[in-house]
Structure 1
Amino acid sequence: MAEDKPKIKLQSQQGDIYEADQQVACMSTLIKNMVEGEDSGSEDAIPLPNVKTAILQRVLQYCEHHKENPPEEIAKPLKSTNLAEVVSEWDAEFVNVEQEVLFELILAANYLDIKPLLDLTCAKVASMIKGKTPEEIRKQFNIVNDFTPEEEAQVREENKWCEDA
């Protein structure tokens, strides 16, 4: 019965509290370590000051989806710019979000120590970069080029071996 499964309360940065099955919440190594370190009868919510409400909802959605269906390891280096060719359709769609949300998911996955989610979100960023020129990458991520032409030429010369591979 679903009612018998232990639940864990999680509190977002904004103070919103979510209840999740222990199996789902403990996909996070951080939460798993916190739960193992306290008495099992604790009713207090675990504060997650670095995770916004909307992002916590997404993280729980990911963990819920994968609780009975562990994600496959993502091959590195990434084989394609089309993430759907590398991960499941559900995972590819899950990270098909605005850049700001994607980066917040990366930060949350790192903070919560959910390696499969961190790998997935980083693979999404890698797919956005793969095969692009430095100028295209700067434009994609709104990065200002602060190198002088001389510095840029020096960096290109020092790293020429990368382009030959």
Structure 2
Amino acid sequence: MPTMSSAEESPVVTGTTSEEEEEKVVLRCCDGEEFAVAVSSVARNSGTISNMIDDDCVEGGVPLPNVKAPAMSRVLEYLNRKHRSAWEEARAFEKAFFERMTKEAMFEVILAGNYLHAEELLDAATQCAVDGIRGKSVPELRE
């Protein structure tokens, strides 16, 4: 049975006085896990989710058939941390964030970033992948 990662039960919760009462939207991953996220700080950083919000298509939650829960969790971690940090701190976080991932996890995050149209995440993840193969020989790349 799917679980909510927030105490909120409904797909959209409105409010503007505090972060807890901020408007939220529920994201439903392909493996059934759900995430309740703040519209202003996270959901708007995804072109796919933002368009659905703008088109008022979030009632009942936002289905993400191409995104697995572990990748979504990493995407949300990135978006939450990245946008709350100063530029230099954000770059240090970005480097550490991607370096601690396995290749498979990085691939899933890139796929999720692409599906969600999270351009900043996608750019950072692909740059990390490029940095990982730069200067390697063909046999090293095959491994």
TM-score range, shorter chain: 0.7 to 0.9
2: CA distance, partners of 1:106 / 1:91: 14
Alpha-carbon distance change, 12 to 88 in structure 1, aligned in 2, over 3 angstroms:
same
1: CA distance, partners of 2:28 / 2:81: 20
Task: Tell me the secondary structure at the aligned position of residue 11 of structure 1.
Answer: strand
* Alignment partner, residue 4 of structure 1: 21
How big is the shift at 1:130? 0.6
- Decide whether the 8 Å contact of 2:47 with 2:117 is kept in 1: yes
* Alignment partner, residue 37 of structure 1: 55
Give the TM-score taking structure 1 as reference length.
0.69
* Alignment partner, residue 80 of structure 2: 64
Q: Does 1:49 align with 2:52?
A: no
Q: Which amino acid aligns with 1:98?
A: T
1: CA distance, partners of 2:31 / 2:75: 16
Q: Does 1:127 align with 2:141?
A: no
Give the percent of matched residue pairs that are identical in Structure 1 and Structure 2: 33
How big is the shift at 1:71? 6.0
Alignment of 1:147-162 (within 5 A): none
Deviating above 6 A after TM superposition, structure 1's stretches of 4 or more consecutive aligned residues are none
Max Rg structure: 1
- Decide whether the 8 Å contact of 1:9 with 1:17 is kept in 2: yes
Structure 1 unaligned spans of 5+ = 73-86, 140-165
Report the RMSD for the aligned CA atoms in angstroms: 1.8
1: CA distance, partners of 2:61 / 2:39: 12
Deviations 1:92-150 (A, max 9, x none): 111121000000111000010011111111111111111111121112xxxxxxxxxxx
Give the TM-score taking structure 2 as reference length.
0.79
Task: Tell me the secondary structure at the aligned position of residue 45 of structure 2.
Answer: coil
Count of residues paired in the alignment = 123
How big is the shift at 1:69? 3.8
- Decide whether the 8 Å contact of 1:9 with 1:19 is kept in 2: yes
